[in-house]
Amino acid sequence: MSNESYYVAVVGAGPAGMFAARELARNGVRVVIFNRDIKPGGLAEYGIYPDKFAMKEGLRTQFRQALETPGLTYFGNITIGASGDLHLDDLRALGFQAILVTAGAQGTKWLSLPGEHLTGVYHAKGLVYHYNQLPPYSKEEFHFGKRSAVVGAGNVMLDIARYLIQKIKVDEVVAVVRRGPAEVKFDKKEMEYVVANLDLRALDEEFTRVAPVMQAIGQDVEASKTIILEALPKGMPATSRTRFRFEFLASPVQILSDDKDLVTGLEVEDNILSVKDGEVKARGTGNKRVIKVDSVVFAIGDKVDDSFGLPTAGSEFVKNLKPRFPIEGISYEAFDPETSLPIEGVFFAGWSRQASTGLVGYARKDGTNGAKAVLQYLQTLKPVVPDEAALSGRLKKLGKSVVTQSDVRKLAELESEEAHKRGLESFKFGTNEEMLEKIMSVG
Ligand SMILES: Cc1cc2nc3c(=O)[nH]c(=O)nc-3n(C[C@H](O)[C@H](O)[C@H](O)COP(=O)(O)OP(=O)(O)OC[C@H]3O[C@@H](n4cnc5c(N)ncnc54)[C@H](O)[C@@H]3O)c2cc1C
């Protein structure tokens, strides 16, 4: 039997990477996944709200099964990129014929406002990684006082609100939304977790305040209110006395602090709305006011890691706009705007292709389609004999622990035993050192 096959590196083991790798391996490709984290799962493990036990466990099972696909190898605790353990050129030198980047969107978007550096001002990503126990964020300290602003209008804003309401139990959470109630992006299902804490009188007052702006562009005020309140009948009972309210049509301007550098408020500018090319836009009125809070969390989306070593523009990696291997009309191919040429053999999928877009199901489909684009590209090449000895030699030289499929299985068993012992639904070791030590302890 020939040892020849195509040889592909997948960077990242979130939903996109896992399903891409499985698709490639099922088509006879030798696939190696390199993952920054010890565990696979990406944001399914470290983003999705921790109390969604059944969803998370279901996904973990699917990922563990995907890892068993013949022809697929997993190396966790290995970061790829310009400042990583291995560069893209290292992967090329090791003989990989294509590299599929499914590293998510690891950069953070800030608005560059005065006061963003203050203690008590956070980006959602850091907080989400913290409460989901991703090292090293698991050990970081977050300071919340009594009143928190969460800037954003999507599901991540609601996850942060949920955490502040149910776990931190602050007195008040204010969702600060740039546009109006008709433009919110969250799902009813996510609202159900926090709707019992929603201050309905404050919501009525807020709708009365913003109604003239909505009506000026022909929006139906009552219909928007109904959509937000649709979550009420199935709402989860309140577990704290936190008051949750919205401030619509407000763009953050600066974070104010006292002489001890403690946050005292979020200054916002009021907005009006206009419609351009069918899209509702917010425009500042010049009127500024202060929302009294002692912490601010920005849940305004992520961008890709612009230190990864591939060209970026805005929040995204640059893609080939005239793809050679489009799938459903989408380009998965990397492009170098300096040379105006595709970057040979480099592809993106999932949140690395389009930052902060879609749920796990979407990332799964995008990963699979990204793999299909790679499979088409491979048809232009000849199979090789993958030099696995060269790869293991290179990994050994890194002088760090590399986590394998069987280590992932062991860790899952150890954490499940620990959860059982402690009477918890789920348990995670909070540092890489602890995880590695536990894996080693069972040999
Ligand atoms: C707060 C939050 C809550 C969410 N809740 C839900 C929900 O309830 N339900 C739902 O369906 N979806 C939810 N999502 C969306 C879902 O998590 C994403 O759609 C999905 O995880 C994106 O998958 P991905 O594989 O593209 O990226 P990611 O999941 O981000 O995976 C990226 C992977 O790449 C690895 N990586 C990063 N950089 C490198 C590197 N340089 N080298 C090697 N590896 C690297 C990471 O370790 C990670 O394993 C949520 C997202 C967030 C942010």
Using only the alpha carbons of the chain, give its radius of gyration.
24
* Mean pLDDT confidence for 134-146: 96
**How far lies 315's CA from each of 74, 117, 156, 235, in Å?**
28, 21, 17, 35
CA contacts within 13 A on the Cβ side of 160: 33
Q: Could you read off the pLDDT of 236-257 as tens digits, one per residue?
A: 999 999 999 999 999 999 999 9
Residues with Cβ within 8 Å of 125's Cβ and at least 6 positions away in sequence, in order, are 108, 302
* Mean pLDDT confidence for 42-69: 96
Collapsing DSSP states into helix, strand and coil, what is residue 249?
A: coil
Q: Are the C-beta atoms of 292 and 265 separated by less than 8 Å?
A: yes
Read off the pTM. 0.96
Q: Could you read off the pLDDT of 120-133 as tens digits, one per residue?
A: 999 999 999 999 99
Packing angle of the helix pair 155-163, 124-131 (nearest 10 deg): 50
**Tokens representing 215?**
């009506």
CA contacts within 13 A on the Cβ side of 213: 25
- Site to substitute for ligand 1 among 11, 43, 130, most atoms within 8 A of C-beta: 43
Q: Could you read off the pLDDT of 377-415 as tens digits, one per residue?
A: 999 999 999 999 999 999 999 999 999 999 999 999 999
What whole-number percentage of the chain has pLDDT above 90?
99
Mean pLDDT taken over the chain: 97
Q: Say yes or no to pLDDT of 216 above 90.
A: yes
Collapsing DSSP states into helix, strand and coil, what is residue 149?
A: strand
Q: Could you read off the pLDDT of 73-84 as tens digits, one per residue?
A: 999 999 999 999
* Mean pLDDT confidence for 188-196: 97
Q: Whose CA is nearest to atom 15 of ligand 1?
A: 359
**Bridge partner list, 73:** 32
Q: Are the C-beta atoms of 80 and 94 separated by less than 8 Å?
A: no
Q: Is the CB of 432 under 6 A from ligand 1?
A: no
Residue 306 burial (10 A CB sphere; 0-12, 13-18, 19+): middle
* Mean pLDDT confidence for 250-268: 97
Q: Cite the DSSP H helix spans in 95-242.
A: 124-131, 155-163, 188-191, 200-216, 221-229
User: How many Å lie between the centroid of ligand 1 and the Cα of residue 374?
Assistant: 21
Residues with Cβ within 8 Å of 243's Cβ and at least 6 positions away in sequence, in order, are 171, 172, 173, 197, 199, 202
Give the model's pLDDT for residue 2: 66
Q: Say yes or no to pLDDT of 135 above 60.
A: yes
Q: Is the CB of 161 under 6 A from ligand 1?
A: no
Packing angle of the helix pair 53-67, 405-422 (nearest 10 deg): 150
pLDDT band at 443 (very low <50, low <70, confident <90, very high): confident
CA distance 66 to 47: 20
* Mean pLDDT confidence for 222-243: 97
CA distance 311 to 309: 7
Give the model's pLDDT for residue 178: 98
**Tokens representing 264?**
């005292």
User: How many Å lie between the centroid of ligand 1 and the Cα of residue 38?
Assistant: 14
Q: Say yes or no to pLDDT of 153 above 60.
A: yes
Q: Is the CB of 135 under 6 A from ligand 1?
A: no
User: How many Å lie between the centroid of ligand 1 and the Cα of residue 217?
Assistant: 36
Q: Is the peptide bond before 136 cis (omega within 30 degrees of 0)?
A: yes
Q: Is the CB of 84 under 6 A from ligand 1?
A: yes
Q: Say yes or no to pLDDT of 161 above 60.
A: yes
CA distance 271 to 63: 44
**How far lies 200's CA from each of 206, 243, 264, 280, in Å?**
10, 10, 25, 26
CA distance 320 to 330: 10
